[in-house]
Amino acid sequence: MVFIQVHANAYAVVVSMEIIIPNWYTGNQQSMLLPNCLFRMGGAALLLSNRRSDSHRTKRRAPKESSAYQISWLLQIFKLKLKPYIPDFKKAFEHFCIPAGGRAVIDEMEKNLQLSPEHVEASRMTLHRFGNASSSSLWYERSYIEAKGSMKKGDRVWQIKFGGGFKCNSAVWKCNRSIKAEADGPWADRIDQYPMHIPEVVKLQQF
């Protein structure tokens, strides 16, 4: 994002990947096998452009707004103390792409951001089909929303991602036009099967 803000008439490719081979567990301890079931290989790429000539074919744009960054500096400089406040994010965004790191992660995000089950549907279904594919999960989630035909012109999407450290990044996208489901998208072969009911507890077969 910074690259195309600095360089005029530029393209940037964003690649999100999850590689699990180095951490794959090859033993027989059941307690150690769970990560093998949850984490998956995944990959997604996004082409960004700041060229005006590309505006007619882009799906969405990242709105430019500096006030959100400025307020963080004001809080530090003036030592302002604010009471805890959780805004109604549903008034600011139509769609949410939250980390598909596990059921507990999605449950807590839904609870603390005061979202509805429909708002976290893309995340839950992505976890069900693709597992935890790290940052690429966010793009699978957005493709899910598009495949459902829910992404309309003017809709705003909030993408949130956690990382080690602890760090949190987010991006806001605004849809330039209503988006039709892609014939070759990651959900094209089975979007009609989703959403599906996912039981809270699944009995595992003993080895």
| Tokens 């699978």, located at residue | 140
d(CA 45, CA 161): 16
pLDDT of res. 67: 66
Of 202, 168, 133, the residue nearest 125 (C-alpha) = 133
Residue 106, H or E segment: helix 103-112
pLDDT of res. 17: 74
Q: Are residues 175 and 59 in contact, defined by beta-carbon separation less than 8 angstroms? A: yes
d(CA 117, CA 203): 24
List, for residues 135-149, the tens digit of each pLDDT value. 889 999 999 999 999
Q: Are residues 154 and 175 in contact, defined by beta-carbon separation less than 8 angstroms? A: yes
Query: Cβ atoms within 10 A of the Cβ of 201, count?
Result: 5
pLDDT of res. 80: 65
pLDDT of res. 90: 95
| Topology of the domain comprising 61-193 | Peroxisomal Thiolase; Chain A, domain 1 (3.40.47)
pLDDT of res. 154: 94
List, for residues 99-134, the tens digit of each pLDDT value. 898 899 999 999 999 999 999 999 999 999 998 888
The full set of domain ranges for the chain reads 61-193
Spans in the chain with pLDDT lower than 50: none
pLDDT of res. 145: 96
